[in-house]
Amino acid sequence: MGRLCRFSGLVVACCSFAVALGARGQSDPKITLTVQASYAGVALQELGAAGHVQLLTSPQTARDVICFQLKDVPLSEAMARIAGAVDGTWKQVGQSYRLIRTAKQQSDESRKEFDETVRSIRKSIKKRADELQKMTAWNADEADALATKVQALIRAFNPKVYNGDWIRQGDQFSNQTPIGRALTKIVAALDPIELSSLPSHMKAVWSSNPTPTQKLFTSKLLPIGDEFVKGQADWAAAIDKHQLKAPVTDGFAHYVGGLRAFKDHANGTVQAILLSVTPQGPKNGFYCDLTAYDEKGKIIAQANTILSNSGADNKELPAMPTPTDEEKIKLDADALALLANRNTSPGRAKKLAGSLLNKLIRPEQFDPLSIFLSPKLIQAATIKKVNMVAHLTDDMFNPDAYFSTKETTVDDFLRKNVSSAGTVELTDGWLTVRPKRPSECRSRQADRTELGKYLRKLATGRPFSIDELAAFALSLPDTVDNFMPTSMSGFIRTERFDDYEPNMLRLYGLLTQNQKSTMANGGIRFGALGSEELSYVNRLIYKMRPNIGYQAPSGQPAEQTKADEEVFNSDLMREATELLPNGIPRQGLLTLELKNTNAAFAFVADSDLDLSGASGSAKSARELAWCRYSQERPDLFPVKDKSFTYNLNRVLFGRQVSMTFSFQFTPTILTIYALNDTNLRDFQSMTLNDLPDDFKKEFQDAYNHYVMVYANAKPGQLNGVGSGPPP
């Protein structure tokens, strides 16, 4: 019935356009036209030219990416189909038509997506709850039986075949423990609407005794905690009885799911239980972690799970019988070259042909969605002999880009590929594709102009300046929200130039020169930062695994410092909402230390690789020494990927500015982030012998140190890959 109503509405829309065109003395011409994925303004200009009418976009629809294939389709129907795909409406403006999206249409989109997230969370919760119902009631006998199974799993551990099955079994056993059962019950009692409303990139924490930055466990959740405390005693006894310990190889403990390494204090007295929920991006759901701590803040037990928010499977598309002689969808030459290049050179993509590289670095002209997705949609429409219209979003890029290069049937392509991020209708002679979450996707779409600037800079082969990195971090979407920029850069060169914390880069990009000067001369109070700047400070601290340190007050007795460090180093104090319970203190201080340091950039050894300049991030004398020593000892540090092999006969050497940002929240609590400002125009090409004496001495001392440390090492004893300093 719903589909019939939509179709009926479309008929009315087509008729209204035809009447409007007729009233203006214009015919309703039949259009035959194919347009690859592009901004709506470009696509509608082509359609308008074919129909001899001016078709315009509005601010609401200008950045929608659409593609279509029409064969003898009345202009009015083509316009109506496009409007339906983008949740838009045509508005006549003089002699033109403008594609708009009304406030109600935008509100309806957002409401529908929010409701779908709530439904998806409920579905995910129910799945965990159903698994819990299948478990035997918890008691001492059940604890002993579970410990026996875990012991068998540990004994079966083989580091040579350490695979997903072993890990999955560990996770399954974790879910059956008291903390795993408690997590399922607590998650099942949470409000899906509240979860759906959580801000992205920020962690929410629940507690029975909350700080101002935490949420309160409701009364129905508290009994679950009491039940866990009772059950944990039986489980701790079973751990001791069976002497459960995580398998260890080369000093590395392999965690058994959420059971981790079976900490010695598993039988401690529970003093605090915290639940943290972190939104992991639009496709990855919510990461939920339940942790119990003893009186010293050490972890007693821990369990985690992921609640999906990806939406229900697409049920609109019925099975399509595929005739045995039906043509299959295939990638064109450009797409095949890109995927073949990426697959054969995982460390760094080889230099691409000029015409292909030109397409990649100009997404304003050649939309990334026209590389893989829209050509396949056009083929699908051609094979099925139907017309096609599609509204495409960036989250449709990756599933297709990483798919096999093999030919595929239309049915498989639409079901396994397009349906992962979109809804598909193949009916009444039309193939129509819409995004599942159009409003969300628009908010995190990569601006093609900014993406083009980024890719063109990347293609030069030269490292980015810190200002460029910060600008791109602000202008392009976060990787967890939109993977397209990372995917596109991987086709050009996959080497990572800088591994900076993205939120630190964004904060740096927002700071004015006056603010930086103030930070370097005494510091700036957090209360003096703007709201957007402060939001990134919050993201740095109140995230899943913050980097926070302890600093003893000057002149404090050693005994007190030791006691403070013991408290700070407890597991509980790793939780920022406990450590900074009242949020970012306004009187806290952000300072900046500037220091000029020597730096060298090495060149990769393989001349066939795409390299027009220096490679990687700047290397210190010690790191450069490690490159030389590890390459001289391939017996100890074998390297399969040539992108980690450097030609050290000549390097680029110069001075860079090291910037150290200290976030002093309290006299004893701080975090530090470092950025490097490098201008390669001031660097000079030279041999290692030409290096300044102080840098050369530091290099030689470090090299001699590695020679001494690994003098008696035997091949096969080490796991080094020669790509960086040794552990």
Higher pLDDT, 256 or 350: 256
Rounded CA-CA distance 594/661 in Å is: 9
Closest CA to 431 of 448, 445, 414: 414
pLDDT-wise least confident of 348-357, 455-464, 621-630: 348-357
What are the E-state strand segments in 61-183? 65-74, 89-93, 96-100
Q: For residues 332 and 343, give the distance between their C-alpha atoms in angstroms, rounded to a whole number.
A: 17
Distance (Å, whole) CA 94 – CA 476: 37
CA-nearest of 158, 169, 173, 164 to 259 is: 173
352 class by beta-carbon count within 10 Å (0-12 exposed, 13-18 middle, 19+ buried): buried
199, β-bridge pairs: none
- 673 has which bridge partners? 661
Q: Helical H runs in 349-409? A: 354-360, 373-384, 397-401
- Distance from C-alpha of 82 to C-alpha of 183, rounded to nearest angstrom: 46
Please give the average per-residue pLDDT across 43-47, as a whole number. Answer: 96
What local confidence, expressed as pLDDT, does residue 18 receive? Answer: 56
Instruction: Count the Cβ atoms, other than its own, within 10 Å of residue 282.
Output: 23
Candidates 3.55.50.30, 3.10.105.10, 3.40.50.10280, 1.10.10.10; CATH matching 2-101 = 3.55.50.30
Range with the largest mean pLDDT of 83-92, 120-129, 175-184, 292-301 = 83-92
Joined together, the tokens standing for residue 314 give: 């697409």
User: Rounded to an integer, what distance in angstroms lies between the CA atom of residue 667 and that of residue 665?
Assistant: 7
| Coil, helix or strand at residue 289 | strand
Query: What are the tokens at 195?
Result: 């979860």
φ/ψ of 57, rounded to 5, equals: -110, 175
Q: Tell me the two tokens of residue 418.
A: 């397009």
Q: What is the 8-class DSSP label of residue 480?
A: T
Please name which of 259, 268, 285, 275 lies closest in space to residue 221, comparing C-alpha atoms: 275
Length of the chain: 727
In the chain, how many H helices and how many E strands?
Answer: 25, 22
Higher pLDDT, 296 or 608: 296
Q: Where are the domains of the chain?
A: 2-101, 113-307, 456-709
What is the pLDDT, as a whole number, of residue 96?
94
pLDDT of res. 103: 94
For CA atoms 33, 96, 40, 455, the dihedral sign is: positive
Q: What is the mean pLDDT of residues 468-487?
A: 90
- Name beta bridge partners: 299: 293
The pLDDT of residue 146 is 93
Query: Could you report the per-residue pLDDT of 566-581, keeping only the tens digit for each?
Result: 777 778 888 899 989 9
**For residue range 83-129, what is the model confidence (pLDDT) as tens digits?**
999 999 999 999 999 999 999 999 999 999 888 888 888 888 888 78
CA-closest candidate to residue 723, choices 623, 579, 620, 635: 623
Specify which of 246-255, 397-406, 500-509, 711-720 reaches the highest per-range mean pLDDT: 500-509
DSSP state of 570: S
Mean per-residue pLDDT for 629-644?
77
Using one digit for the tens of pLDDT, what is the confidence trace for 480-535? 888 899 888 888 865 444 568 899 999 999 999 999 999 999 999 999 999 999 99
The predicted pLDDT at position 37 comes to 96
Residue 99: the pLDDT is 97
Taking the C-alpha atoms of residue 648 and residue 602, their distance in angstroms, rounded to an integer, is: 6
Q: Measured between alpha carbons, how far is 459 from 194 in angstroms, rounded to an integer?
A: 44
Pick from 718, 712, 705, 687: which is nearest to 623 by CA? 705
The tokens describing 101, both together, are 């999206």
Q: Long-range contacts: 97-102, Cβ < 8 Å, 24+?
A: 97/53, 97/54, 97/55, 97/56, 98/55, 98/56, 98/57, 98/58, 99/40, 99/44, 99/55, 99/56, 99/57, 99/58, 99/61, 100/58, 100/60, 100/61, 101/58, 101/60, 101/61
C-alpha torsion 451→452→455→460, nearest 10: -150
Find where tokens 């993509």 sit: 349
Residue 456 has φ and ψ, to the nearest 5°, of: -65, -35
pLDDT exceeds cutoff 70 at 240: yes
pLDDT, residue 282, reads 66
Exposure pattern of 574-587 as b/e (b: 16+ CB <10 Å)?
bbbbbbbeebbeee
pLDDT at 262: 78
- Angle at which helix 164-176 crosses helix 178-189, to 10 degrees, equals 80
Report the distance separating Cα 145 and Cα 139, nearest Å: 10
pLDDT of the residue at 319: 64
Q: What is the pTM of this model?
A: 0.83
Amino acid 345: pLDDT: 43
CB neighbours (10 Å) of residue 414? 25
For 8-40, write each residue's pLDDT tens digit: 455 445 555 555 565 455 679 999 999 999 999
